[in-house]
Structure 1
Amino acid sequence: MLQEPGRAPDLAGANKDGQQLFFANMSFQRRGAPRLTPDQRAPWKRRDKNNLPFQPGTGFAAEVGVRSTLFDMAPDPEVIAARVLVEDSDLTRYCAAVVREHAERAGWSKRQRNDVIRSLRLLQILRPTPTAKIRATDVLQLRQYSGNVISTIDVLAAAGLLIEDRPTRLERYFAAKTSTLPPLMKDQLEVWLQVLTEGARQAPRQIPRDPQTIRVHILGIEPIIHGWAEAGFQSFSEVTSADITAALGETGARRHIAGNALKSLFTTIKARRLIFANPTRGMKASPKATTIPLALDAAVIRQELNCPDPVVALAVALVAFHALTGKQLRHLQLTDISDGHLVLGNRDIPLAAPVRTRLAAWLDHRNRTWPGTANPHLLINRRTAPRLVPVGPQFPWVGLTLRPQALREDRILHEIHATGGDIRRICDLFGLSVDGATRYLNTVEHPDLTIEGERVPRT
């Protein structure tokens, strides 16, 4: 439509052979409007000639006005690929200094730095508003355009432009375990989860719990609440003390975990007035179930110690000889090892000769594979080498028959039998509490582990 000067738009004529897809006069600007000076422009458009194109912390807002789209249409990949090559976006210039700093500090290659810059250009093209902060869930969409997700999120977080809206592992776990429950029961569980994760200042007051503790609580009550839902329960207000007693009687070894979780659940939702009475009030705590640690097959341990993968051999050696936990192993740093000694908290551990041999082999492999990495952790992989974070809990145990907890128990069990039950020694050697060490001490004269009064030798 061509609008003639001095005449109003002919809307009827414009819609005669087609449909108008915009609101009239929304973007109409009168002729002769004064031009803005550099000081009057939006902060994100002003440039600092002395240093950065933009001053850090200015120019991008968490929430800005966004026009609703008439319909959703996937971008054309060919058009996106062509625009990325020539895009000179405000976002890229705003994050230029942060990208350069991250590249130098984390030892990025030129290819990875260019991948991050390309990902920032993709975000500028794909997002509807050029001055809004970026949500982490939007960055995840870059995978379909071969974009770099993890490093781009790190850069945006350092620049103060990231809105973290990704669900945590605990939230994803909770959603998977409660997706099929009745709506009212699920709402009550969400209130309980919120109190556990964020704490509560009103009675009963509570500090935030560790995510692993919350996960154990959910694991303990999951079969019970699903059983109630299958029986026709729509809310926890319908649960009685008899129902809880009957449910705990069927849990077996999880009775202690399930009992504590149910007490926490009903105490919380009763305090929030979501139920009329607390059916767990006055209920005695269930006795804690204990297990007997058993020795592993020495042939399996020997096979993993001689694994051709140097990181697997080192991880198995550190746990098999010095009983490190999986968490301690992941967070070990290069500076924790010096002159054949491992400093772990207030413990100074002389490394065994097989451990030192495998440590030297891993360090050689590490330096050859990632010569420019600045990650301070001892164990790294392809995903963490260009960053400064530790490896995940499954590295490098994926595909192995051994688990770090079972391997640690085998080492402590061997030590308690070799010393004849010297509980003080294993407390000092492995950093155990007296209660934790007693679990291993009970295996020394256990009737099921002896043959005619003689101790069963360790294989």
Structure 2
Amino acid sequence: MVQIPGQALDLAGANRDGHQLFFANMSFHRHGAPPLSPKQRAPWKLRDQQNLTGTEPIADFGVQMALFDMAPDRQVLAARVRREDNDLTRYCAALVREHAARAGWSKRQRNDVTRSLRILQGLRPTPTSKIRATDVLQLRQYSGNVLSTIDVLAAAGLLIEDRPTRVERYFVAKTNTLPPVMKDQLEVWLEVLTNGSRQAPRQKPRDAKTIIVHILGIEPIIHAWAAAGLHSFAEVTRADITAALDETKARRHIAGNGLKSLFTTLKGRRLIFANPTRGMKASPKATNIPLALDAAVIRGELNSPNPVVALAVALVAFHALTGQQVRELRLTDIRDGHLVVADRLIPLAGPVRTRLAAWLDHRNRTWPGTANPHLLINRRTAPRLLPVSSQFPWSGLTLRPRVLREDRILHEIHATGGDIRRVCDLFGLSVEGAARYLHTLEHTDLTVESKRVPRT
């Protein structure tokens, strides 16, 4: 900057009166350098509010980066909370009332959200900055309302969603002990799976369940390679992959698909020299024989004192609904003693009607003002409009909806003497899916009627 044209740079003279230092990785543009237009930017490289790894500078959001984090003074924060109104509460007041009316919030919950907004106003770095979702999570230490406050901020356009997703948490848990180079390569693969790619090989974003299945399949294999001394996937040969798949029994199919996806992405990004999975045939899907459950265990859960457990088990045990179908059932799907699932109209069995009435009574007594349209709700979803999680109400039970559904279909295939057409129409199965149960007709352990739960 101080060099005279045509002369060499005098470093000693430039530093005689001191040297100007700069913070690294800050936003800096030389004069005369035109900014890139939106078309010139690579949209697949811009994380925006997704913030996949959480390592992007805050300056990307137009917010000054913090030099260091400092815990707020609780006395000062409490004094700010006691104020009647502030900019944030006034801006979100109408949205709070709208959410309260639509979701059936109680007066206490509405006041909790307003109080949480006052706390967040005191925690904001500037009075007009957006609020990160990870900062909202700090409300727990101040007895604030987290989920409903996030909903209000999102509706107001003031939320920066930077919470790690389920896929990211699962990925970190499975890869945190790997060598650094392997971990960096896997992060590139995860980014392509999550956001897709516009460069060769082009790829659309994958579903979160597909990504988790890929990670589940390759996780034991890559840890075995790391334990054997490999530090990069560029060191993996075709023989290593073949040997690893030969040792994999139950997850061979998903492991092969995951490895193909991984090495195809790394080769396309030129992180490895060659794709060792190129030309490899897909492993066949593993199949198993469905087995009957113990009738005493099913009866025990059907008679559970918890009405939501008894209803969920009854819906699967008598009508073979999937766990997802049970979660997504709405109150309007029950009409005149029938259950509407997709294009199927299912007459409800007598035991299911009894448990349905008991659950609706409990639901109305516990959450009389809820506006959640789903049949199954809990304390977390009652003030919102979302379905319950996949673990509700199965967490802590000995039964799982998948094996319970298999037991019901298995009973039906034996009761009808192998009538695939009837089983397909009754449970919405494909012919291939129903044939899996047909193969059990000659199995001697599956013909004992005393192991079945009586159906109505």
How does the TM-score come out when normalised to structure 2?
0.83
Indicate conservation of the 8 Å contact 1:62/1:163, yes or no: no
Bigger mean CA deviation after superposition, 260-269 or 371-380: 260-269
| 2:351 alignment partner in structure 1 | 354
| Identical columns (%) | 81
Q: How does 1:28-47 map to 2 (within 5 A)?
A: none
Alignment equivalent of 2:246, drawn from 246, 249, 253: 249
Q: How does 1:51-70 map to 2 (within 5 A)?
A: 63-66=61-64, 68=66
Indicate conservation of the 8 Å contact 1:63/1:132, yes or no: no
Q: CA deviation at 1:74?
A: 2.2
| 2:204 alignment partner in structure 1 | 207
| 1:311 alignment partner in structure 2 | 308
Q: Match of 1:369, as an amino acid?
A: T
Distance 1:430 1:65 in 2: 54
| 1:286 alignment partner in structure 2 | 283
Alignment equivalent of 1:457, drawn from 428, 449, 453: 449
Q: Deviations over 1:204-224 (max 9, x none)?
A: 332222211111110111010
Q: CA deviation at 1:372?
A: 0.6
| 1:131 alignment partner in structure 2 | 128
Q: Deviations over 1:398-423 (max 9, x none)?
A: 11111111111110111111111111
Bigger mean CA deviation after superposition, 203-212 or 301-310: 203-212
| 1:142 alignment partner in structure 2 | 139
Alignment equivalent of 1:164, drawn from 161, 166, 187: 161
How does the TM-score come out when normalised to structure 1?
0.83
Q: CA deviation at 1:62?
A: 8.6
| 1:46 alignment partner in structure 2 | none
| 1:258 alignment partner in structure 2 | 255
Change beyond 3 A, Cα 1:83–1:255: same
Distance 2:381 2:283 in 1: 43
Q: CA deviation at 1:458?
A: 5.2
| 1:276 alignment partner in structure 2 | 273
Distance 2:62 2:286 in 1: 55
**Poorly superposed stretches of 4+, deviation over 6 Å:** none
Distance 1:414 1:362 in 2: 27
Distance 1:201 1:72 in 2: 37
| 2:45 alignment partner in structure 1 | none
Alignment partner of 1:343: what SS?
Answer: strand
Indicate conservation of the 8 Å contact 1:295/1:458, yes or no: no
1:435 aligns with 2:427: no
Alignment partner of 1:229: what SS?
Answer: helix
Q: CA deviation at 1:65?
A: 4.9
Aligned CA RMSD, in angstroms, stands at 1.7
Distance 1:140 1:79 in 2: 20
Q: Deviations over 1:369-400 (max 9, x none)?
A: 11110000000011111110011111111111
Bigger mean CA deviation after superposition, 81-90 or 364-373: 81-90
Q: CA deviation at 1:356?
A: 0.8
Distance 2:128 2:201 in 1: 44
| 1:18 alignment partner in structure 2 | none
Q: CA deviation at 1:66?
A: 3.6
1:407 aligns with 2:400: no
For structure 1, the 5+ residue unaligned runs are: 1-60
Distance 1:287 1:398 in 2: 32
| 1:39 alignment partner in structure 2 | none
Distance 1:113 1:96 in 2: 10
Alignment partner of 1:342: what SS?
Answer: strand
Indicate conservation of the 8 Å contact 1:108/1:372, yes or no: yes
Bigger mean CA deviation after superposition, 187-196 or 408-417: 187-196
Alignment partner of 2:95: what SS?
Answer: helix
For structure 2, the 5+ residue unaligned runs are: 1-58, 452-456
1:175 aligns with 2:175: no
Distance 1:224 1:414 in 2: 38
Indicate conservation of the 8 Å contact 1:98/1:155, yes or no: yes
